[in-house]
Amino acid sequence: MKLLDYLNDYADQDIYPMHMPGHKRSFDFLDGISPYRIDLTEVTDSDNLHDPTGILKESMDMAASLFDSYRCWYLINGSTCGLLASIFALSRRGDKILVARNCHKAVYNAIHICGLYPIYLFPKVDKEFGVNGSIDPEQVRTAVEEYPDIKLAIITSPTYDGVVSDVASISHILHDRKIPLIVDEAHGPHLGFHPSFPKSAITEGADLVIQSIHKTLPSPTQTALLHMCSSLWKNREKLQDMDRQVSAALGIFESTSPSYIFMAAIDNCIHMLANKKESLFHEYIRRINRFSKETTCLKHIRIMCKGTDSLENHPLFYDFDPGKIVMSIKNLRLTSGEFEEIMLKKYKIELEMIAADYALALTSICDTDEGFDRLLQALIEIDAEYGCENAKPATPPRLRESVTKMSISAAKDMPDEQVRFADSAGRISREIVFAYPPGIPQIVPGEEITPTTIARVTALIENGITVQSTYGELPKYIHVVEV
Ligand SMILES: Cc1ncc(COP(=O)(O)O)c(C=O)c1O
C-alpha cells in the first residue's frame, strides 16, 4: 500500500486524535495551497534560516517577543536538534553536567557526542500513577555542593506526563554558582499563555529553553523553537557570545535545507497566537475544566489532578499541566491491548500512549467540545462496564536509580560484546535502552545492568510498552563492554 493512501484512508475514518501533533489535523495552514507551490529554497527575498536577516528574522523576532525571550530560533528538526545544539553550545569536552535522569534520549546523545560527564538527578516516583515527580531544588543544591565543578545543568519540565518542576528555585541555586540551566520544555510550548497553566521556564530563569511546538500547538511534526532567555548572563557581550555559540551549533545539527513549508507553518502558528491567544486559551481552559468536573463520576478510572484527584494529592509534583489527561486504568478488567481496541474501534479515539495500568491523552487549543465529550463518554461507559478494584498488579515504575560505571563516551569507545539480555546482570551497557514514547532511557551506555533493570525492562515489554535499544536486539540480546 502506498503511504499516502494509508494516510488518506486513516484521515477518512473520523478517528479523534488525543495525541500529537497539537494541530489535531484540523488547523489547515496550507488553506488549499499545494505544498509544492510554497516549497522554496533560499531565493532572493526568502532569507536564510542559518543566517537570518530578512523575513525569517522578522518572524523569529516576533516569536521572541510573544514568548518573552531575547532570541528565538525556528527549528525544523524538532526539539532533538535544539537539545543537541544547546548542550554542544554551552559545554566543553570533559565538562561535568548535571542531568535529570528522566531526560529524553537526545540529551544522552549530546552527552556522548560532546564527551561530557553526567551527574544524574533522579526524580522520585508518584505512588499512585507511577510517574516521575518534579526535580526537587534541594536535590540540585546537594549535587552542586558535592560537585562544585559542574558546568551546566539540564532538566525536563514539563515531563511527558505533564509534571512541572520549580524552575525559578532551581535556576537561582545554579545561577548563584554561575551554572547555566537548559530546560527541555518540549511538552510545554503552550505554558505561559493563560494563568491556569504553570509558567514557562522562559520567564522562570532558565538560560536556554527548547519547545516542540508540534507537540502541543498547531504546527506540523518536526517544528520546534529554541529560546535564549538567560537570566544568568544579562550583559550584552555574554548574550552575544551565547547567541554566536547556539547559532554555530545549529549550523552543525540542523539541516542545511530547512523546509519553507515547516517555517511558514511555524510563522502561521506564531501569528495566530499573537492575534488570538486570549480567546483560544480561554476556550481551551473552559473545555479542560468542564472535562475535569464531569470525570468526578468515575469510580475506577482515576485521572491525575482532575475529577476527584488534585495537585494536593501529589506531594512530589511542584505543578502540573492541566492539558495532559493521565489516566490510571489499573482498576479495569482490561489489558492495555483490549483498552486500546475498545477506544479505537468502539469510540474512534486514538490515545497518545497506553500501558497496562496507564493511559495518556494529549489535548491542545485545537481540540473541540465534541472531542472532549467523546473521550468523556468512552471513559464513563468503560468505567461502568469493566471497573473492578485491584484488577491488576501495578507495573514497575518507569525509572529507578541506576549505577554509572563510566561515561557514555568511554563505554562507546570500549570493545563490544553481545550477550543474552537475561544473563547481562553485572555487565556495563554499551547500548541505550528506552521506552518509546516517551524516550527516557531505562539503561544508558556506561551504566551497570542490574537484576532490577532486567526485571523492569522485561516487565515493560510484557506490559505492551515499546522498548527500543541501540541495536534493536532486545529482549534477546544486549551489547555490553567487553571484559
Ligand atoms: C521530553 C522530550 N524532549 C525532547 C523530545 C524530542 O522532541 P522532537 O520530537 O521535537 O525532536 C521529546 C520527544 O518525544 C520529548 O518527549
- Grid cell listed for 437: 514514547
Residue 212 Cβ contacting ligand 1 at under 6 Å? yes
Radius of gyration, alpha carbons of the chain: 22
Ligand 1 centre distance from Cα of residue 372 (Å): 25
Is 224 touching ligand 1 by the criterion CB < 6 Å? yes
CA of 79 to the centre of ligand 1 (A): 6
Mean pLDDT over 375-397 rounds to: 87
Main-chain phi, psi angles of 313, to 5 degrees: -75, -5
**For 31-40, 47-56, 304-313, 378-387, which range has the lowest pLDDT when averaged over its residues?**
31-40
Task: Give the whole-angstrom CA distance, residue 186 versus residue 208.
Answer: 12
Same domain, 382 and 435: no
DSSP string, 378-392: HHHHHHHHHB-TT-S
Q: Which atom from ligand 1 is nearest to the alpha carbon of 77?
A: 11
Do 152 and 256 share a domain, yes or no? yes
Q: Are residues 86 and 232 in the same domain?
A: yes
Helix axes 260-294, 55-67, angle to 10 degrees: 20
Do both 234 and 317 map to the same domain? no
How far CA 40 is from CA of 29, 31, 266, 268, 298, in Å, comes to 16, 17, 15, 16, 51
> Within this chain, do residues 196 and 307 fall inside the same structural domain, yes or no?
no
97 located within any domain: yes
Boundary (domain end) residue, out of 386, 420, 441: 386
Give per-residue pLDDT as tens, 337-363: 999 999 999 999 999 999 878 999 999
19 within ligand 1 shell (Cβ under 6 A): no
Which among 438, 429, 424, 425 is positioned nearest to 466, based on CA atoms? 438
Q: Are residues 261 and 295 both part of a single domain?
A: no
Q: What is the pLDDT of residue 138?
A: 98
> 186 C-alpha to center of ligand 1: Å?
6
- Write the pLDDT tens digit of every residue in 168-183: 999 999 999 999 999 9
pLDDT of 257 reads 97
Query: Is residue 281 one of the residues assigned to a domain?
Result: yes
Whether 215 and 92 share a structural domain: yes
What is the 212 CA–ligand 1 centroid distance (Å)? 7
Report pLDDT digits (tens) over 65-112: 999 999 999 999 999 999 999 999 999 999 999 999 999 999 999 999
Is 342 among the domain residues? yes
pLDDT band at 437 (very low <50, low <70, confident <90, very high): confident
Dist. CA 389 → ligand 1 center (Å): 35
Burial 33-62 (b: 16+ CB within 10 A, else e): eeeeeeeeebeeeebebbebeeebeebbeb
Does the CB atom of residue 184 touch ligand 1 within 6 A? Answer: yes
Measured distance CA(466)–CA(437) in Å, rounded: 8
Length of the chain: 483
Mean pLDDT of 454-477: 91
- Residues 6 or more apart from 348 whose CB is under 8 A from it? 13, 14, 15, 16, 374
19 alpha carbon – ligand 1 mean position (Å): 14
Look up the CATH number of the domain holding residue 210: 3.40.640.10
Q: Within 295-407, where are the H helices?
A: 336-341, 369-386
CA distance 432 to 314: 30
What is the model's pTM? 0.97
Band of pLDDT at residue 390, cut at 50, 70 and 90: confident
Q: Are strands 71-75 and 96-100 parallel, antiparallel or unpaired?
A: unpaired
Q: Is the CB of 160 under 6 A from ligand 1?
A: yes
Q: What nine digits make up the cell of 108?
A: 544522552
22 lines ligand 1 (CB under 6 A): no
3-state SS class at 458: helix
Question: Counting runs of H as helices and runs of E as strands, what totals does the chain give?
Answer: 13, 20
Classify strands 433-435 and 440-443 as parallel, antiparallel or unpaired.
antiparallel
Confirm whether 3 is domain-assigned: no
> What domain range is 110 assigned to?
35-265
| Alpha carbon distance 463, 233 (integer Å) | 46
In angstroms, how far is CA 306 from the centroid of its own chain?
21
Do 56 and 178 fall within a single domain? yes
Please check whether residues 164 and 79 belong to one and the same domain: yes
Is residue 432 within 8 A of residue 407, CB to CB? The reply is no
In a shared domain, residues 123 and 94: yes
Q: How far apart are the first and last CA of the chain?
A: 47
Provide the domain count of the chain.
3
Last residue of a domain, one of 239, 265, 291: 265
Q: Verify whether ligand 1 is closer than 6 Å to residue 431 (CB atom).
A: no
One domain, residues 68 and 211: yes
Question: Is residue 128 a part of any domain in this protein?
Answer: yes
Return all residues near 7 (Cβ < 8 A) that are at least 6 apart.
none
Mean pLDDT across 294-316: 97
Is the CB of 382 inside a 6 Å radius of any atom of ligand 1? no
Query: Which tens digit of pLDDT belongs to each residue from 235-259?
Result: 889 999 999 999 999 999 999 999 9
Residue 394 pLDDT exceeds 80: no
Q: Is residue 19 part of a domain?
A: no
Q: What is the CATH number of the domain that holds 442?
A: 3.90.100.10
Residue 325 sits in the same domain as residue 454: no
Q: Is 223 in the pocket of ligand 1 (CB under 6 A)?
A: no
422/30 Cα distance (integer angstroms):
51
| CATH number of the domain bearing residue 294 | 3.90.1150.10
Question: Rounded to whole angstroms, how far apart are CA atoms 432 and 446?
Answer: 9
Residue 234: Cβ-neighbour burial (10 angstroms; 0-12, 13-18, 19+): exposed
Q: Which of 75, 76, 212 to mutate to test the pocket of ligand 1 (most atoms within 8 A of CB)?
A: 212
Q: In testing the pocket of ligand 1, which one of 79, 191, 226, 253 has its CB within 8 Å of the most ligand atoms? A: 79
Mean predicted lDDT score pLDDT of the chain: 95
Answer whether residue 146 is part of any domain.
yes
Residues 6+ apart with CB under 8 A from 10: none
104 near 440, Cβ under 8 Å? yes
Q: Give yes or no for residue 43 having a pLDDT over 70.
A: yes
Considering the domain boundaries, does residue 18 fall inside one? no
CA-proximal residue: ligand 1, atom 10 (nearest)? 78
Burial class (CB in 10 A: 0-12, 13-18, 19+), 475: middle
